[in-house]
Structure 1
Amino acid sequence: MPNESPLHPQVRVLVVEDEPEFMHRFSQAILDDRHLALTAAVSTGTAALAMLSADTPDVILLDLGLPDMRGTEVIKHVARHQPECDVLVVTMFGDDQHVFEALEAGATGYLLKDSGLERIAASIHDVRAGGSPISPSIARRVLARMRPPTAKSPEQPPPDPVLTSREIELLKLTAKGLSFEKIGELLEISPHTVVAHVKKIYRKLAVHSRGEAVYEATQMGLL
């Protein structure tokens, strides 16, 4: 590829979108960025799985409303078989069911289609840099689900939390879609230390992605 170099390899992106207009716009946003490479653009989940059986892109730009299967099935397939690939959801669905099903399945980011096209390429780069881009209204919805645990009676003190206060603080910043580097700046620790904390959180919650970690911690009343 003419724009690729050993120092700055292109990020390879697969677009899965059944609306022709959005498929064209997303594809063009990728083609316009010399650091991105469009591997293919397909309109069904079946076609996406066929592509994935032959090759693993770096990022999948995925719509949830596919004509032949739920987009979450594609996310689950990637999480099981190609975990090194990031799935960035770009969809019209902003309700709790779609949002949390996608995050629980393993989506790395969640954008609504009303996000500006200029944000698409930036979000792809953000994902590969360790971030988790989420549309502001979706981030607000995720944070709204984070409530402190219900107070226990004096006779039954609450058990020790699964996550430390530091890990919970870090997970809240992750839910906002911040990159590991930015989280490190805010917490005054190195990105390497942030990654170490994240890996420990994954082990404690038995999850494999940022979205799953936020979802599980929320369900457990830790956030």
Structure 2
Amino acid sequence: MATQVALVEDDTGMRERIARVVDADPSLTLAYSASNALDILAWLVDNPVDVLLVDLGLPDHPGLQVISQCRHMQPACAVMVLSIFGDEANMVQAFEAGASGYLLKDGTEADLATHIRHLRAGGSPMSPVIARQLLRRWQTRAGTPPEPVAARPSSAAAYGASTASERLSPREFEVLDLVSRGFTYVEVGVQMGVSASTVQTHIRNIYGKLDVHNKSEAVFEARNLGWLP
């Protein structure tokens, strides 16, 4: 029997992309998708599902509330977060509320069906940034020296003192700053007076210099280094 999946995501485009991924996998069935917390919680009262995918930034109530109430209503349902928020506070609160997996939205779609199957089988799929934070948190609590991290400049001015191999160009730094504030590549290009393809080239260079694979990881690492507020 196919795994029954429900989804709550307020971004229409993202919701449709996730729905297409689920529908394309014969082992999965998208039973319901909602754009807000009230709709998904009302639906869950009478409709058991195997997996619930939850966006944390919902327009009416926090996604954390959806996770907690879903776990109360349907203890057998496995919950996985799909979010742009990769900070430790959101990650910890999501797991404490009852989530069993946590994926950052960038780069998740290609392997999303696989992650859902792993979640259903008892696994805990996590983006690398999230897994690394959990590891560091565990190491700190266990008294084990955490994995070494790069020195963190305290400001954008300090950023200029980083080594040549790590330094972003002024244009790359501008792109990263705009992306971190939620602008699309097209919007970044308009503000900078360049094409979207040029922005994408800057993004690829940033990924290489920060040794990351998507926007969320890039923003997270830049904030860790003190390059972004």
Q: Which of 26, 31, 34 in structure 1 is aligned with 2:18?
A: 26
* Residue number in structure 1 paired with 2:43: 51
C-alpha distance in structure 2 between counterparts of 1:149 and 1:126, whole Å: 28
C-alpha contact 1:115 1:135 (8 A) present in aligned 2: no
Q: Secondary structure at the match of 1:122?
A: helix
C-alpha distance in structure 2 between counterparts of 1:86 and 1:114, whole Å: 21
Q: Secondary structure at the match of 1:141?
A: helix
Structure 1 residue ranges, 4+ long, deviating more than 6 angstroms after superposition: none
* Residue number in structure 1 paired with 2:224: none
Once the two structures are superposed, the pairs formed by residues 182-193 of structure 1 within 5 Å of their partners are none
Q: Which of 104, 114, 117 in structure 1 is aligned with 2:109?
A: 117
Once the two structures are superposed, the pairs formed by residues 55-204 of structure 1 within 5 Å of their partners are 55-146=47-138, 147=140, 149=142
C-alpha contact 2:8 2:40 (8 A) present in aligned 1: yes
* Residue number in structure 1 paired with 2:8: 16
C-alpha distance in structure 1 between counterparts of 2:43 and 2:107, whole Å: 27
Please, which runs of 5 or more residues in structure 1 have no aligned partner? 1-8, 152-223
Percent identical among aligned pairs is 41
Return the TM-score normalized by structure 1.
0.62
C-alpha distance in structure 2 between counterparts of 1:62 and 1:27, whole Å: 13
* Residue number in structure 2 paired with 1:214: none
C-alpha distance in structure 1 between counterparts of 2:143 and 2:16, whole Å: 48
Q: Secondary structure at the match of 2:45?
A: helix
Q: Could you list the per-position Cα deviations for residues 85-106 of structure 1 after superposition, in whole angstroms to 9, with x for gaps in the alignment? A: 0111000000111110000101
* Residue number in structure 2 paired with 1:217: none
Provide closer, same or farther for how the CA distance between residues 62 and 150 of structure 1 changes in structure 2, counting only shifts above 3 A.
closer
C-alpha contact 2:50 2:77 (8 A) present in aligned 1: yes
Provide closer, same or farther for how the CA distance between residues 36 and 141 of structure 1 changes in structure 2, counting only shifts above 3 A.
same
What is the CA distance between 1:79 and its match in structure 2? 1.7
What is the CA distance between 1:112 and its match in structure 2? 0.1
Provide closer, same or farther for how the CA distance between residues 116 and 80 of structure 1 changes in structure 2, counting only shifts above 3 A.
closer
Q: Which amino acid aligns with 1:139?
A: A
Provide closer, same or farther for how the CA distance between residues 116 and 79 of structure 1 changes in structure 2, counting only shifts above 3 A.
closer
For the aligned residue pairs, the C-alpha RMSD in angstroms reads 1.4
Please, which runs of 5 or more residues in structure 2 have no aligned partner? 145-229
C-alpha distance in structure 2 between counterparts of 1:148 and 1:53, whole Å: 38
C-alpha distance in structure 2 between counterparts of 1:134 and 1:125, whole Å: 13
C-alpha distance in structure 2 between counterparts of 1:82 and 1:51, whole Å: 12
* Residue number in structure 2 paired with 1:190: none
Q: Could you list the per-position Cα deviations for residues 30-78 of structure 1 after superposition, in whole angstroms to 9, with x for gaps in the alignment? A: 0000110011111000001011011011101110000000001011112
- For the pair shown, which has the larger CA radius of gyration, 1 or 2? 2
Q: Which amino acid aligns with 2:74?
A: Q
Q: Which amino acid aligns with 1:56?
A: P
Q: Could you list the per-position Cα deviations for residues 158-204 of structure 1 after superposition, in whole angstroms to 9, with x for gaps in the alignment? A: xxxxxxxxxxxxxxxxxxxxxxxxxxxxxxxxxxxxxxxxxxxxxxx
C-alpha distance in structure 2 between counterparts of 1:88 and 1:23, whole Å: 15
* Residue number in structure 1 paired with 2:29: 37
Return the TM-score normalized by structure 2.
0.61
